[in-house]
Amino acid sequence: MIGGLILAAGGGSRFGSEPKLLAELEGQPVLQRTVEAMTRVSRLERVVVVLGAHADQMLARVGFGRAETVLCAKWQDGQSASLRCGTAALPDAAKIVVILGDQPLISPAIVDRFARERPGARASYNGRPGHPVVLGARHLRAIARLTGDRGAREVLDGPLIEVGDGGTLRDLDTAEDLEAIRREAAELDGE
């Protein structure tokens, strides 16, 4: 079984008072776009979204479709806690494709490409590592020992796979990031 995992539990404190994953992008919450990109990939048999901060608001405003939500009670412990929570919800997965909830410009084609890659693979955008990443059994054992605000970066050992720029490397941390993402989304829609 190939699983999909979206990490969306963080508080997003740099963004401001409103939850960044609920900020509007072309009439949809940012997280909605990310969820739709992943759930459109039929190769992913199960998709899990890890929620934490603002979970009630996200459940009320985002349509998760076939994606399952799990609540990470220890989300404040950092990305490692969210990652452990999400991977635990996919115990039968031979591999798991991981993306971040604040990557609203990621495309289903990129997610699908990584669903076909071997565990350890990681996306590269013009030479800069990013998401998706692909985890296998060996990586999951290592993730079980991670602590703090650390993701899988240090346990990945597969190839960096260049996917180009396409705006998908940009994630959302600040109001300025949101404006840049809005411009990029408009450009992508115009192509």
pLDDT digits (tens, 9 = 90+) for 111-150: 999 999 999 999 988 888 888 999 998 888 877 666 655 5
Check residue 104 and give its pLDDT.
Answer: 87
**38 in Cβ contact with 191 (< 8 Å):** no
How many CA within 13 A on the CB side of residue 10?
Answer: 23
**Per-residue CA distances from 130 to 25, 80, 133 (Å):** 21, 16, 8
Residue 14 has pLDDT above 80, yes or no: no
Q: How confident is the model at residue 12 (pLDDT cuts 50, 70, 90)?
A: low
**Per-residue CA distances from 173 to 27, 86, 97, 110 (Å):** 19, 21, 22, 22
CA 35 vs. chain centroid, Å, equals: 9
Instruction: Set out the domains of the chain in order of their start, with CATH numbers.
Output: 2-190 (3.90.550.10)
- Give the containing element (helix H, strand E) for 28: strand 28-29
Cβ-based neighbours of 118, under 8 Å, separated by 6 or more: 95, 134, 136, 158
